[in-house]
Amino acid sequence: MPVKDYSDVALGDLISLAGRTAVITGGAAGIGKSIARRLAEAGAAVMIGDLDEGKAQSVAANLAETSVPHAGVKVDVRDHASIAALGDFAIARTGRLDIWINNAGIFPAGKALELPDDDWSRVLDINLRGTFFGGREAALRMQGQGVIVNLASTNSFNTGVSAIHYVASKHGVVGVTKSLAVELAGKGIRVLAVAPTMTTSDGVMQMRKLGPEVAEGLDNFAHSLPLGRAGVPDDVARVVLFLVSDLAAFMTGAVVLVDGGELAK
């Protein structure tokens, strides 16, 4: 593969996504919403796919650079056809697809011996199956270059929470990331993952409402991290922006921790 020399490219041009089209699943809330905002700020046209179509449209309407054709559409990442339709929508709207973020995910608790079969299937379908089919549909539509970023977790490497289905799904996301990275490298497509620790997304803020003991447990966990706090969604979004930009042109197959030092302990 020819070496592209970026050494004379100005920093602003390296981080710019002007003229590129990005798709993000689960971008109507939490970490995904922050990623959508950073991608738009860098100049990309951002297509937000989410179960909540109203919220996806409202987030898209409030993104930076309203001259760029951002959009919010309904997608259910459990449904392969729905993911394919999201890819088709991005192409129909902008004529290209450069960036795909597999962000949609759920994180219910669930101990192995008590776990209903359906809970296992639902978490694996959204977090792992959705990530694979998202990556595949993205790659089928990218023309000669592209970047796919998956949302892994520190629970891709440890168990941390009592949620065997979540832990299994996020370990699987690492496998999908590495396998796709190797298979797609020859097509000029980079595939990466970010692995956040506990991050104060909408979903986590909802969890806190389950009761004072849950909130206290989350606070204790945050304080136990080397950096002494939970992540905020934009902590993850800034790293994703770096990974999809040309600053990271020689990175593929990596899983980047955004964990306040959790896994260094």
Q: Which is nearer to ligand NAD, 145 or 206 (CB)?
A: 206
Asked if residues 163 and 110 have their Cβ atoms less than 8 Å apart, the reply is yes
Minimum distance of ligand NAD from residue 112's CB (angstroms): 19
State yes or no: residue 25 binds ligand NAD (CB under 6 A). Answer: yes
State yes or no: residue 237 binds ligand NAD (CB under 6 A). Answer: no
Q: Is 166 tagged catalytic?
A: yes
| Inter-helix orientation angle 233-244/30-41, to 10° | 50
Minimum distance of ligand NAD from residue 18's CB (angstroms): 26
Per-residue mark of binding to ligand NAD, 117-156 (x: CB under 6 A):
---------x------------------------x-x---
State yes or no: residue 196 binds ligand NAD (CB under 6 A). Answer: yes
Count the residues of the shown chain that bind ligand NAD, applying the rule CB under 6 A. Answer: 29
Amino acid occupying residue 118: D
Q: Which is nearer to ligand NAD, 15 or 124 (CB)?
A: 124
Using the rule CB under 6 A, give the single segment among 63-71, 109-117, 140-148, 195-203 that binds ligand NAD.
195-203
Q: Which is nearer to ligand NAD, 54 or 95 (CB)?
A: 54
Q: Which of 21, 57, 177, 199 binds ligand NAD (CB under 6 A)?
A: 199
Indicate left, alpha or beta for 253 from its phi (over 0: left) and psi (-120 to 50: alpha).
left
Query: Residue 150: beta bridge partners?
Result: 102, 193
Cβ neighbours of residue 171 closer than 8 Å, sequence gap 6 or more: 155, 156, 157
Q: Which is nearer to ligand NAD, 115 or 255 (CB)?
A: 255
Asked if residues 91 and 13 have their Cβ atoms less than 8 Å apart, the reply is no
Q: Which is nearer to ligand NAD, 197 or 252 (CB)?
A: 197
| Active-site position among 100, 107, 133, 166 | 166
Pairing of strands 189-196, 146-151: parallel
User: What would the DSSP string read from start to end of 115-173?
Assistant: --HHHHHHHHIIIIIHHHHHHHHHHHH--S-EEEEEE--GGGT---SSBHHHHHHHHHH
Cβ neighbours of residue 2 closer than 8 Å, sequence gap 6 or more: none
Q: Is 25 helix (H, G, I), strand (E, B) or coil?
A: strand
Asked if residues 223 and 164 have their Cβ atoms less than 8 Å apart, the reply is no
Q: Which of 78, 171, 229, 238 binds ligand NAD (CB under 6 A)?
A: 78
Q: Which of 63, 73, 99, 104 binds ligand NAD (CB under 6 A)?
A: 104
Asked if residues 237 and 24 have their Cβ atoms less than 8 Å apart, the reply is no
State yes or no: residue 26 binds ligand NAD (CB under 6 A). Answer: yes
**What does the binding site for ligand NAD look like in residue numbers (CB under 6 A)?**
25-26, 28-32, 50-52, 75-78, 103-107, 126, 151, 153, 196, 198-199, 201-204
Q: Could you give the residue numbers annotated as active site?
A: 166
